[in-house]
Chain A
Amino acid sequence: MTTDDLDIENMELELLLNAIYMKYSFDFRGYSRASIKRRIKHRLSMSGLKTISDMQREILYYPDFFNTLLQDLSINVTEMFRDPSFYRALRKDVLPELRDLPHIKIWHAGCSSGEEVYSMAILLKESGLYQKCRIYATDFDETVLTKAKEGVYPVERLKSYTRNYQEAGGLESFADYYSSRYDLVKLDKTLRENILFSSHNLVTDGAFGEMNLIVCRNVLIYFNRDLQDHVFKLFSDSLCPGGFLCLGSKETVQLSTSANAFTEVVKKERIYRKKEATDGFQELQEDSCVS
């Protein structure tokens, strides 16, 4: 591949992202390019098409093919209790602060296949807080939401899930939370009772109001700076004063335009807290957050 070919390929990538936006209103234009290009080229080679331009025509004319590509772009397979130290910090430094609220509203933004949401559900059950929690698990992709609702995972992952759960300070046995059949593991449906899975697009949709805790881990790494700033503002607007924001282990709010809206609670685990109200407008928001 020559330099010219590479330039052309990068142009084709931009055109494809624009085509997706124009035809389907999914906006990937603010995504960092290295990852999205890899995923697109992977689908390109799987599909037998020759160039990204060929793929552009395909997605414009064949919505089914677009849906396949959409899956590629949306799925972030993760693990139950990934980064066990994060869950230990949640248990120790965040939940005690929320314990006295009459209701706790939690938003998992970009929940993908749901492992993280169910991890949170288990944590809340073991802390005795689950009953007063409402968990909103959102993703822009309907297909992946459907999968997340099922709570079914391959049995090969069980060993690492169990180990992670134990390292995260799990109080029971991980086996208490699932049943297995053949090569699949199904999480207990009581974990799902207070979880509402719904469609929400971080790029194009508005604030998802008055949350006490927002978890968005290893999603923002895929966004460019401008899009990160946009999403941090969205999170700030969606949080009650004193509400918590939890990011992935290599993410930070501190270089964004919303840096001043947050204080650092647990630096190593990327847990931040929205500052308390300081003006009249904020106080209005605070009132509705307490009910």
Chain B
Amino acid sequence: MQFTQKSVMKRYEAVVMGVSTGGLKALETVLRQLPGEFSLPVMIVQHRIAHSDDFLCRFLGGICQLKVMEAEEKRMVKNGHVYIAPPDYHLQVEMDRTLSLSVDPPVNYSRPSVDVLFQTAAEVFQDRLVGVILTGANRDGSLGLAEIKRLGGLAVVQDPDTALAPEMPRSAIKTVSVDHVLLLEDIGRFLAQLDGSDTTTW
């Protein structure tokens, strides 16, 4: 395991994640490792076909100790909750920390788009946001991750060499000066350490 040396002194307030091809397994691996006391809200965009049902939320809810639900508009983002973007809508975060949806055209051929979630969340949470890019077969999320970095947040990417679909993480690494490139099985634990840490050196 290689971690860059970094002192983590600030408190993070939210995590956003983007994933595409291979997402079910990837999300299962990451979310399984989050402890019940994990307090940061997690907002997830997985590229989904337009008419998918609630299987994803139910399945992830079954393996995750946190409350997993489909993101609903106007809902306040809450600690200890995991929000999954509904199919065929963009998921956004508003300045008052409520979620909102849109049916604006696909971005990077995707709706929901990772870029849209990441860009709106970056404006709200700024340097208290962690952005995570997992396996995926297109470049959605790279610009969003760049925005997170620009506003002082943390950029975490799954190691492309071991990802089912490496393009999404690879594109993120090319676009952004990523803080941590981690194996899938280390990401959940890494996030758990970020939560409530006062001083942790990686």
Task: Given A6-B151, A221-B101, A250-B86, check contact A33 B95 (CB 8 Å).
Answer: yes
Within 8 A of A (CB), among B91-116: 92-95, 100-105, 116
Q: Within 8 Å of chain A (Cβ to Cβ): is B126?
A: yes
B88 to chain A, nearest CB (A): 8
Q: B116 is contacted by which of A38, A84, A225, A250 (Cβ under 8 Å)?
A: A38
Chain B residues whose CB sits within 8 angstroms of the CB of A179 once the complex forms: none
Question: What's the minimum C-beta distance from B143 to chain A, rounded to whole angstroms?
Answer: 13
Q: Is the CB of A78 within 8 A of B103?
A: yes
Q: Is the CB of A199 closer than 8 A to any CB of chain B?
A: no
| B58 interface residue per 8 A CB criterion | no
Among the listed A3, A10, A222, A225, which residue makes an inter-chain contact with B95, where contact means beta carbons less than 8 Å apart? Answer: A10
The size bracket of the interface on B is 20 to 34
Closest chain B residue to A2, Cβ basis: B151
A35-B89 in contact (CB<8A): no
Contact of A32 among B94, B103, B116 (CB under 8 A): B94
B100 pairs with A3, CB closer than 8 A: no
- Give residues 59-104 of B contacting A (CB, 8 Å): 72-74, 86, 89, 92-95, 100-104
B159 at the interface (CB under 8 A from A): no
Please classify the interface of chain A as helix (H, G, I), strand (E, B), loop, or mixed, using the class held by over half of its residues. Answer: helix
Do B102 and A6 have beta carbons less than 8 Å apart?
A: no
A10 cross-chain contacts in B, Cβ below 8 A:
95
Instruction: Report yes or no: B93 in contact with A221, Cβ–Cβ below 8 A.
Output: no
CA distance A10 to B124 in the complex (A): 11
A250 near B95 with CB under 8 A, answer no
Of residues 6 through 34 on chain A, the ones whose CB sits less than 8 Å from some CB of chain B are 6, 10, 32-34
Q: How far is the CA of A244 from the CA of B100 in the complex (A)?
A: 25
Min CB distance B131 to A, Å, is 16
Instruction: Provide the bound-state CA to CA distance between A193 and B105, in Å.
Output: 30
Q: Which residues of B contact A218 (CB under 8 A)?
A: 103
Q: Is B195 an interface residue (CB 8 A)?
A: no
A-B contact pairs, 30 of them (CB 8 A): A1-B151, A3-B126, A3-B151, A6-B126, A6-B151, A32-B92, A32-B94, A32-B100, A33-B94, A33-B95, A34-B94, A34-B100, A34-B102, A34-B120, A35-B100, A35-B104, A38-B104, A38-B119, A38-B120, A76-B103, A78-B103, A84-B51, A221-B102, A221-B103, A222-B102, A225-B74, A248-B103, A250-B73, A250-B89, A250-B101
Query: Which residues of A come within 8 Å of B, CB atoms?
Result: 1, 3, 6, 10, 32-35, 38-39, 76-78, 84, 218, 221-222, 225, 248, 250-251, 255
